[in-house]
Amino acid sequence: MGRIISVSNQKGGVGKTTSAVNLCASLGAAEKRTLLLDLDPQGNATSGCGVEDYGATSYEVMLGTARVEEAVIPTPIPFLDIIPSDRRLAGAEIELVPQVSRERFLAHALVSVRERYDFILIDTPPSLGLLTLNALTAADTVLIPIQCEYYALEGLSQLLSTIQLVQKSLNPDLRIEGVLLTMFDRRLKLSNQVAEEAIEYFGDTVYKTKIPRNVRLSEAPSFGKPILLYDVECLGSQSYMELAEEVIAANRPPLEVGAAQAGGSGVVDIDKVAAKVEEVQE
């Protein structure tokens, strides 16, 4: 049964879609059957995979007018399929409001294809609305990208609180898959400081692989290609392949969100993260 991972952070500009696309491409290159579900109305994951012609999308899947199987299409990367998205998905948030069990629509929809894949990754919108709530309810784990820049922890306590609420009422088995440091520049003191802070609060759940600032990574989406197809030898491409190896190995226990510090007990101290955010903002 495939592992469902929600790639989530309500803060924009953290490399969420870039990470979803390129991690999926790297998993496909490793011959792992992978499905990328674009659940962001901006559709950047769809265009970033070079997908232009499609019929049913995640919009129809969410509203129940199309089965997942009808929306799945192959990508240029072997072993990687995608469920595309477009602007119509923005309307799903409103259309789902009056529905019963609206938070579980995606979880029910993915049941029919879960056995077909080793990994199902969900690229969520940069918000904590109904679409993201569906993703967290459907997922086994959450992968959180954090950019190595000023205010890196801004809003993170809100995301962790949302994960806790989902655990309590919708998905008690939800855990944190890992914390991914993006836009990392080892030459900058700030990047290293953010990395140290992330390790302090999340412990071993922070991936050893750090995604560097890389021009080729920034260029690839404008050509509609994952970095593996755009420049397989660049540092960004190598980093996502290393990340894929970590995800496949899954040698770290998923992190439970709770009331103690990650370093010693394997859970996250939300109050400490929130306090750190306030300290940085001051």
pLDDT tens-place string over residues 19-65: 999 999 999 999 999 999 999 999 999 999 999 889 999 999 999 99
pLDDT at 235 exceeding the cut of 60: yes
pLDDT tens-place string over residues 138-196: 999 999 999 888 777 776 878 888 899 899 999 999 999 999 999 888 888 888 988 88
Q: Which CATH superfamily is domain 3-281 in?
A: P-loop containing nucleotide triphosphate hydrolases (3.40.50.300)
pLDDT at 254 exceeding the cut of 70: no
CB 244 within 8 A of CB 23: yes
CB 9 within 8 A of CB 145: yes
pTM beyond 0.85: the answer is yes
CB 214 within 8 A of CB 234: yes
Segment 201-222 shows an average pLDDT of: 92
| Torsion (CA) 150, 259, 211, 38 in degrees, nearest 10 | -100
Q: Would you tell me how many other CB atoms lie within 10 Å of the CB of residue 19?
A: 23
CB 183 within 8 A of CB 239: no
